[in-house]
Structure 1
Amino acid sequence: MPYKHLFFDLDHTLWDFDRNSAECLSELYTTFRLADAGITSESEFSRHFIDINKKLWADYDKNLIEHTYIRENRFPMAFRALGIDPALIKADLNAEYLRLLPYKPHLLESARELLDHLHGRYPMHIITNGFAEIQAIKMDSAEIAHYFTNVVTSENANAKKPDPLVFEYALRISGANAADSLMIGDNYEADILGAKGAGLDTVFYNPAGISVDEQPTYNIRHWSELMDIL
């Protein structure tokens, strides 16, 4: 298929959210002396937070909660999961987390190699449900902003994945047609089913090899497979 436009998700697809987040959580654990509050394991703190944060973002994608709920509740929920009263933590850890996180530069394995391979051959764009101001800093910190023509967020599209409206908005501002566009992402519901509902072909970036009921156009475990396709 001679695709003319490529659309990428950002977090967990190109930008290594888990690694970058874990680095921030390690810094918070040390800076705010969370061991003194009874959180005796940095790794357990990180694991609980990442699991809770992932679930909250999944609920957000399903329109069950708002952005503000994530920001206000993810750290208290992690503390309670660890058996710690959130009231004991006086610092605004969420504000500090949001300050640190977007400046982390790590990409997933072979992501930069993929972008170098595609750069200049296809117009490329980002479609993300992440916070607009944070996503822009992430891309600058990882030095990937120059690869992309447009960055579409749920805020400027007034819709979020998997709603077809966000993909239609992205197509419109990019001057692209669904029939010759390809959506690439790691989230089966938001990226794959959402884009398919808007008429785009899809690449499911699926390193874990999870089974899905409705097959994407391409189901890959490593970026080298996409380089072979494109």
Structure 2
Amino acid sequence: MMFQPHRSQHRNRLISCTSSIPMGYTWARVRRRSEITSLGAFNFDRFRAVVFDLDMTLTDSHMYPVLGCEWFLKEAGVYTDERLEEYLGHVVARYRNAIKDIVSGGPYHSPYEIIRKAMSESFRDIGFEPDEEMVEAAAKHFRSLHLKLSTVFPGAHSLLETLQGSGKKLGIITNSFEGHADKILEKLHLKHFFSAVVDSGTVRAYKPASEIFTAVTDALGVSSKDTVFVGDEYYADMVGAKSAGMTAVWINIRHRSIEEARAKYGIEFTPDLVVHSIEELSKY
């Protein structure tokens, strides 16, 4: 069943807090704090390959975490709007922390394992003892919604068509559920554009770890300096791509402050280009 969520102010707050499960300047290329040039100055021609993040870069998947958590709280009989907002905040925070722990050298856990644990522990965070069978069902439903509700962003198909037509090798790297990228690309009729699709399970690593970036350039047969990476998450995508030696394009879809991001992560991870949607990038 497909969902048609009501777009209330409360719902919009929930959507905003799901930013990493798995954004300021308009049309700006950033080199130094004082040097900003127009989007027109950026050119894909000098690159041999373009690699994309999937969720919230090429595909719109913003509703599935909200609806997945909502389903769980309703099944558990504890749903209120306020409780959903609190619960979702805990799930996102626990997800982010788990990824950071793995990137910092901790043992690998699959995206499903991370989400399942986050959903269980977050239920305790809001004052309830979880039924683990219900948690398992909720996590599976959460995962299924990722496949069902992902749609392609406007401009994505035309950009991919242009890049492929100009001889660029195209790839995907994603922290999302193992095996989902291929299924979503197939469903959205985008699979034929990509020569390499790498998810966290492929290399047992998450962005921004270097292994996942190296895996895609190796699969494409290109060097990192000949590759541009496009993604929406600053920590996972911009920090990861710049660390790997790639040129980085930030899809600042949530209109976050780049100055705050630079202050938090360091100016060495400043993206080379900042836009607000894949559609804007497609019109260069």
Q: Normalised by the shorter chain, which TM-score bucket?
A: 0.7 to 0.9
Corresponding residue to 1:156 among 192, 202, 205: 202
TM-score, structure 1 length as denominator? Answer: 0.80
Inter-CA distance 192–70: structure 2 relative to 1 (3 Å threshold): same
Superposition deviation, residue 109 in structure 1: 4.7
Quote the residue 1:55 is aligned against.
Answer: 93
Bigger drift between 70-79 and 9-18 goes to 70-79
Quote the residue 2:274 is aligned against.
Answer: 219
Q: Does 1:135 align with 2:181?
A: yes
CA contact (8 A) 1:129 1:160 kept: yes
Inter-CA distance 20–113: structure 2 relative to 1 (3 Å threshold): farther
Q: Deviations over 1:31-70 (max 9, x none)?
A: x953x713134x853x445433432332233135733652
- Tell me the percent identity: 23
Inter-CA distance 194–12: structure 2 relative to 1 (3 Å threshold): same
Corresponding residue to 2:78 among 32, 38, 50: 38
Superposition deviation, residue 192 in structure 1: 1.1
In the alignment, the residues of structure 2 paired with residue 173 and residue 81 of structure 1 have an alpha-carbon distance, to the nearest angstrom, of 42
**1:16 is matched by which residue type in structure 2?**
D
**1:40 is matched by which residue type in structure 2?**
T
CA contact (8 A) 2:52 2:231 kept: yes
Corresponding residue to 1:11 among 55, 58, 70: 55
Bigger drift between 124-133 and 55-64 goes to 55-64
SS at match of 1:161: coil
**1:152 is matched by which residue type in structure 2?**
V
Quote the residue 1:79 is aligned against.
Answer: 123
SS at match of 1:101: helix
**1:171 is matched by which residue type in structure 2?**
T
**1:17 is matched by which residue type in structure 2?**
S
Quote the residue 2:246 is aligned against.
Answer: 200
Q: Does 1:103 align with 2:143?
A: no
Superposition deviation, residue 143 in structure 1: 2.9
Q: Does 1:210 align with 2:257?
A: yes
**Root-mean-square deviation (Å):** 2.9
**1:8 is matched by which residue type in structure 2?**
F
Superposed, 1:170-185 pairs within 5 Å as 170-185=216-231
Inter-CA distance 201–181: structure 2 relative to 1 (3 Å threshold): same
Q: Moved runs in structure 1, 4+ residues, more than 4 A?
A: 23-26
Corresponding residue to 1:21 among 56, 65, 71: 65
SS at match of 2:230: strand
Superposition deviation, residue 78 in structure 1: 4.2
Unaligned runs of 5+ in 2: 1-42
**1:99 is matched by which residue type in structure 2?**
S
Inter-CA distance 79–165: structure 2 relative to 1 (3 Å threshold): closer
CA contact (8 A) 2:143 2:177 kept: no
Superposition deviation, residue 87 in structure 1: 3.0
In the alignment, the residues of structure 1 paired with residue 155 and residue 88 of structure 2 have an alpha-carbon distance, to the nearest angstrom, of 23
Superposition deviation, residue 181 in structure 1: 0.8
In the alignment, the residues of structure 2 paired with residue 201 and residue 130 of structure 1 have an alpha-carbon distance, to the nearest angstrom, of 22
TM-score, structure 2 length as denominator? Answer: 0.67
Superposition deviation, residue 132 in structure 1: 2.1
Corresponding residue to 2:165 among 104, 120, 123: 120
SS at match of 1:132: coil
Q: Deviations over 1:100-129 (max 9, x none)?
A: 431323234543443344343322110112
SS at match of 2:179: helix
Bigger drift between 4-13 and 81-90 goes to 81-90
Superposition deviation, residue 24 in structure 1: 4.7
Inter-CA distance 24–144: structure 2 relative to 1 (3 Å threshold): farther
Inter-CA distance 104–150: structure 2 relative to 1 (3 Å threshold): same
